[in-house]
Chains A and B, each alone.
Chain A
Amino acid sequence: DAKTTQPNSMESNEEEPVHLPCNHSTISGTDYIHWYRQLPSQGPEYVIHGLTSNVNNRMASLAIAEDRKSSTLILHRATLRDAAVYYCILRSLSSGSARQLTFGSGTQLTVLP
C-alpha cells in the first residue's frame, strides 16, 4: 500500500473546526483513503473513507484533493472526546479481498478546553 504522511501532532480549541491533513503523493487509482482514530487505551475506530469525491458522515467530513495526492479530515466542531490519534490509511481494493490495515504514526490531536 502507498505511504501516507501526517503531522505528528496538532492542537485545537474546543468547539472549533479541526483540519487534519494527510499527504499521499504515491496514491494509485484503486487506493481508497481511510481514516481511523484511536482514543487513549482503546482500539482504533473507523471514521470515514473515500475514493475521489468529498464525503460526509455524522463523525466527520473528508475532503480529497483533485489530484488525490492529499486529503483533509475535517471535524466540524471539536470536543474533548475527539482527542485521539488520527490515522490516514490507503487501502487498495483491487484484489477484492479483505486486507489488513497498515498504520503509520498518525496525528495526535489535542483538544484544549
Chain B
Amino acid sequence: GAVVSQHPSWVICKSGTSVKIECRSLDFQATTMFWYRQFPKQSLMLMATSNEGSKATYEQGVEKDKFLINHASLTLSTLTVTSAHPEDSSFYICSAPPSGKTETQYFGPGTRLLVL
C-alpha cells in the first residue's frame, strides 16, 4: 500500500524553540494533507488541512501563527511548531489521501514531541 513518512519520529526541545515536522507521501501525490494531534489516552483531533499551492485551513481553536504549515510540493507538507511550550507536547500525525482517490487515507507513523 501507499506509504506516508514523517520526520523526525520523535523530538525533544526546550521551551521557546521552534520545531519542524515533515510529512512525505513516498509513492503517490497528494494535493491535500491533514495534520492531527493526539494527547495521551485521547483520540486524534484534526488541527489543519494543508493544501498544495495555497494557504492551509485551520480548525477552530488552532493558532495559525503558532502552527505554521507549508505544502511545498505534491509530496511534502511541513508543520512548524513555533515557540513551543510544554503544553504543545503531543503526538503529531499527518495523513494524505492520494490525489483523485478519496476513499482511503494513508497516515504517517507520527512524531512525538516533548517540550521541556
Contact = CB atoms under 8 A, between A and B. Distances in A.
A102 B47 CA distance: 11
Interface string A85-102: 001000001001111111
Nearest to A87: B43
Interface residues of B, number: 27
Contacts of B104: 46, 49
A25 interface: no
B106 A46 contact: yes
Interface string A19-45: 000000000000010101010011111
A109 to B, nearest CB: 15
A31 to B, nearest CB: 13
Interface of B is mostly: strand
B46 A32 contact: no
Given A97-B102, A98-B97, A104 B43 contact: yes
Judged by DSSP, the binding face of A is loop
Contact of B93 (A43, A96, A99): A43
A98 B46 contact: no
Interface in B48-79: 49
B106 A93 contact: no
A49 B97 CA distance: 15
B105 A101 contact: yes
11 contacts: A34-B103, A43-B110, A44-B93, A45-B107, A46-B106, A49-B103, A93-B102, A98-B31, A98-B105, A101-B44, A103-B43
